């Protein structure tokens, strides 16, 4: 499997969990909201760390630029992380409207973020790091939250 394909699959999985979280909030099933929120936060964080600790590091070393697209992508990860903290607070007070608004925000950030990765960054990564394809995937699989 290519790195690009592996990472796009993870985007789809995170989208699916986020959509299930939204459904749980709409139906007012707060027990399930808690479970889905934890699942989303962990999967999303694991994917971000795979990028920040393995893929971006390798890519920056290869192209010799640390201040380019990977920096912008990491800033966007941090925006999602901040929103997830706000979601945790909304969850603790069972605030449905706030929760739905924050889910909408995360969906929007991730939609634009993932599009940039899938249409640009992952292609550049694939081009520059294809000689280390399997090694990079194996190292990303080791990442724990
Ligand atoms: Fe990313
Ligand atoms: Fe990604």
Protein residues placing their CB within 5 Å of the ion ligand 1: 51, 73
CATH of domain 3-141: 1.20.120
- Ranges of H-type helices in 27-145: 30-49, 56-63, 69-92, 96-116, 122-129, 133-141
Confidence (pLDDT) at 72: 96
- Model confidence over 22-60: pLDDT tens digits? 999 999 999 999 999 999 999 999 999 999 999 999 999
Residue 115 CA to residue 12 CA, distance in Å, equals: 12
Q: Which of the residues in the chain have pLDDT under 70?
A: none
Confidence (pLDDT) at 68: 87
Instruction: Return the domain boundaries, the chain.
Output: 3-141
The predicted model scores a pTM of 0.96
- Residue 129 neighbours by CB distance under 10 Å: 19
CA of 36 to the centre of ligand 2 (A): 20
Residue 96 CA to residue 98 CA, distance in Å, equals: 6
Considering every ligand atom shown, identify the ligand nearest to the alpha carbon of residue 70 and give its number.
Answer: 1
List of residues 6+ apart from 129 with CB closer than 8 A: 3, 55, 58, 59, 62, 136
Q: Which residue is listed with tokens 């099933």?
A: 29
Assess contact for 28 and 5: CB atoms under 8 A: no
Confidence (pLDDT) at 65: 83
CA of 141 to the centre of ligand 2 (A): 14
């Amino acid at each position: 499997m290519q790195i690009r394909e592996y990472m796009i699959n993870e985007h789809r999985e995170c989208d699916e969990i986020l959509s299930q979280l939204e459904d749980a909030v709409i139906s007012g099933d707060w027990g399930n909201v808690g479970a889905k929120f934890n699942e989303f936060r962990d999967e999303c964080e694991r994917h971000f760390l795979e990028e920040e600790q393995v893929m971006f590091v390798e890519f920056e070393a290869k192209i010799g630029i640390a201040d380019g697209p990977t920096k912008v992508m990491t800033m966007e990860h941090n925006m999602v992380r901040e929103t997830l903290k706000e979601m945790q607070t909304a969850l603790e007070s069972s605030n449905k409207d706030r929760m739905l608004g924050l889910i909408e925000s995360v969906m929007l950030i991730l939609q634009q973020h993932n599009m940039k990765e899938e249409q640009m960054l992952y292609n550049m990564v694939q081009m520059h790091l294809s000689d280390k394809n399997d090694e990079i995937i194996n190292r990303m699989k080791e990442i724990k939250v």
